[in-house]
Structure formats: structure tokens, C-alpha cells
Amino acid sequence: MNQPKSWIEIPENSDFTLANIPFGVYSKGKGHFAVATAIGEYIVDLDMLHKAGYFGLLELPKNIFSSRYLNPFIALGKEKTNAVRKYIQELFTKGSTLEKDSKSLVNVLHKQQEVKMLLPVKVRNYTDFYSSKEHATNVGVMFRDPENALLPNWLHMPVGYHGRASSIVVSETLIHRPNGQIKDPAKDKPDFGPSKRLDFELEMAFVIGKETQLGDMVSVNKAEEYIFGMMLFNDWSARDIQVWEYVPLGPFLGKNFASSVSPWIVTLEALEPYRTKAPEQSVEVLPYLKEKQRTTFDIQLEVAIATKEAKETVVCQSNFKHLYWTMPQQLAHHTINGCNIEIGDMYASGTISGTTPESFGSMLELAWKGSKPLQLADGSTRVFIQDGDKVIMRGHAGEGTQRVGFGCVQTEVLPAKNIEI
């Protein structure tokens, strides 16, 4: 399907074509915010469009686009949010009435590099899954019996844990290296200090767009009705803190110091043309996890590391379609016990690793527990992330005028803060 041409100049290989129309929130300064979309190099202020009368036929609430978060907009439901997205596509198609409305456009269009994007949703609850068979196998080989790399439950359910919602931050938010307890295998007792094994995890997250009540369960075959859209997600991990604390209750301080997300939420409707078959599951799952149509999305992903001395080095190229457990299975399992979900809840996929070394989605795997240092463009090597490094994640589906991209999530690491004892 050919996408109609926009009257806005859209650069080649732009993530933000008319086929996309993601949603985000930007700061207008002095405590004022606006919901926006992105087209080419511009952000589009939807609040100003609304005030100019362009959404009148859709009967939207008066201040729906002047909110700090997307939650109220998402709560309108997919019928309404999809109608808004399609109408925006019409407005920015060549020959539309908006193209000739120079008076309104003064306040509507802004260059992306000139605005500050914000965390787009108020994250009510956050869950992190562990859904890549390749990643789980790699970790099992490194830390357990290679012949039994996967734990017995892994092929029967999408394993996950409840994380910390308050420390999810938007792209370009600086983070500090975390402090914590670290146990040297050669010592009898742990030491305290900054993590020496700071790692990224290449993930994607989905955002809930329809809530349930306590006791309700979401069917695996209706789960996408509850998913508004997707984002890039960097699940930061302090491996040395994590390995000492995770038995018996799992991730805690090694994970909750920060998670970084991209500022734009791409709707499932925009990704629909890139639906593809999900990996075949080797063990028959229980009925509540069986999908009538087992599909996922073909989203190309990459991770780069940029240093102060040199341009970035791409260290990972993977794809969302590699995940063994799909989003519908994750959500169905999450709610099978009656756990209620809320608008704005965020669910991360777990590290997305492929079958080849260059597709591994973490430094733990790429440098194979420190035994295979990565060479960067400035001549330095890495086994884990150092202070001053900037980790950049990108993702997109399709190409050309049909490209649907997520922009990027980039985060610079600062030294650990001094601790007062």
C-alpha cells in the first residue's frame, strides 16, 4: 500500500512518516505541556490543533491534549484514539486544508531538536518479563549447567517480576552508576561500592490502554484490545549487585535504580502491516496461553555505544520477532490470577537476543561474561558500560514512506554518587 504524500518534507529513512503517527508529550515551559505527534523532523502540537478547531467532528474533551501525560487520551479508547490518528494523517496529506492555514501552523509545528520531550505516560505499574529463549539460554549456560540452561518452568510460562515504576525515565535523562553490595567470589563477605558491571538490556515495552477490575482475566486472544502501543526500553542492570541479591526473591537493587524509555508510543495499528509469525513453541502450553493466531511484529532493533572521544559504535542488531513469548501471552499470564491492570501500566519484554553473537541484547552476552571485550570506534574496549558512555537504542519496522519507527532512547552514565555513612 502506497502512503499518500505529505506536504511536510519527510527525510529519507525518517522514523516518522505518515504511516506512523506516534504519540508523546512535550514541555511548553513554565509548567505547560502538550500532547504531540511526530512527522519528519517536526513535532505537531495537538493541543494547538484542537484549539484551532481541527478536531471538532471527533467530539474530544476540551483539554484532552493539554495533559502532562497521555493517560487521559489513552483512556478514551481505541475507537477514538484511532480516529484521531487517521485524522492527523488526513491533515498532513498534501492538499489538506491545514496545509494552507499558515496562521494555525505557527503554533502547531516545532522542530524536534528544539523541544523537550517528556515521559509520555504516568506509569501506574511496571512488570519486566524474561521472554527471549536465546537470552535465557545464554544466561543459563554462563551461570548454570549448560546442558540444562533453561529452568524447568521457562518453556511453560512467560517468567516475569514486578519492577519499580518510579525510576522509569525518558530518553536523555542522565543516570548515575548505582551503589550496592558486591560479593567477590574469592571473599567470605560482601563489599559496598559502585557497580563495576553496569549493563544495558535491549527491550521493548507495551503500554496498557484499557483497564480491568480485580479478579478479571484477559484472554490471550483478546489481549491486544488492552494494548495501546509500544516503546523502546533499556532495562539497566548492575550485574554484580544482581548476582549477589537475586536468590531467593529475584531482582531488586540491581534493577530498580533506572529504566530508560523512548519518548514516543507507536500504536499497534501503525505496526499492523509488519505483523509476522512468532517463533514456534517447542512445548505445548496450557490452554489459557494458546493463541488462535500466533503472531508478533517484525521490528528491527540496534544498540550503539558512544564515548566522549569518538562517534558511536553499533554493538548489537536484533529483532523483536525473536521473542519466544508474545505480548498477548505475557498479558494473559499476568492476569490469569485476577491481577488488575491500569491505563499506563508498562510491561517490558525482557532482553531481546537473536541466534547470532551480534544479535545478543546485553553486554553480559556480547562480551560473554567479560571474556570477549568489544572494540569501540575510539580504540577502547568494553566488557561492561563505563562512566561517560552513552547507550543508544533504535528501532523501526518497514522502510521508505512506509517506515514506522520509534526514534531512540539514549542515556549517558554518570559516576556513582558519594554515600554519607
What is the per-residue DSSP string for 353-374?
Answer: --SSGGG--BHHHHTTTTTSPE
State yes or no: pLDDT of 119 exceeds 80.
yes
pLDDT in tens, 261-293: 999 999 999 999 999 999 999 999 999 999 999
What confidence score (pLDDT) does residue 311 get? 87
Q: Residue 80 phi/psi, 5° resolution?
A: -80, -45
What confidence score (pLDDT) does residue 103 get? 85
Question: Contact at 8 Å (CB) between 23 and 265?
Answer: yes
Using alpha carbons, list the distances in angstroms from residue 241 to 78, 82, 193, 260, 388: 41, 43, 10, 19, 20
State yes or no: pLDDT of 364 exceeds 90.
yes
What confidence score (pLDDT) does residue 30 get? 87
What confidence score (pLDDT) does residue 347 get? 98
- Quick one: pLDDT band at residue 406, thresholds 50, 70, 90? very high
CA dihedral 119, 211, 268, 320 (to 10 degrees): 70
pLDDT in tens, 135-188: 999 999 998 888 889 999 999 999 999 999 999 999 999 999 999 999 999 999
State yes or no: pLDDT of 2 exceeds 90.
no
pLDDT in tens, 94-117: 999 999 998 888 899 999 999 999
- Model-wide pTM > 0.95: yes
d(CA 179, CA 176): 9
Q: In this structure, how many other beta carbons lie within 10 angstroms of the beta carbon of residue 8?
A: 18
pLDDT in tens, 295-329: 999 999 999 999 998 889 999 999 999 999 999 99
- Quick one: pLDDT band at residue 75, thresholds 50, 70, 90? very high
pLDDT in tens, 226-269: 999 999 999 999 999 999 999 999 999 999 999 999 999 999 99
- Quick one: pLDDT band at residue 84, thresholds 50, 70, 90? very high
Domains of the chain and any CATH numbers:
24-118 (2.30.30.230), 126-297+319-356 (3.90.850.10)
Mean pLDDT of 400-421: 95
State yes or no: pLDDT of 35 exceeds 90.
yes
The 10 Å CB-count burial string (b at 16+, else e) for 385-412 is beeebbbbbbbbbbeebbbbbbbbbbbb
What is the pLDDT of the chain when averaged over all its residues?
96
Q: Which of the following is catalytic: 50, 135, 322, 334?
A: 135
Q: Residue 183 phi/psi, 5° resolution?
A: -105, 110
What confidence score (pLDDT) does residue 284 get? 97
Using alpha carbons, list the distances in angstroms from residue 14 to 20, 196, 219, 229, 410: 10, 37, 36, 19, 17
Specify whether 50 is catalytic. no
Mean pLDDT of 207-232: 98
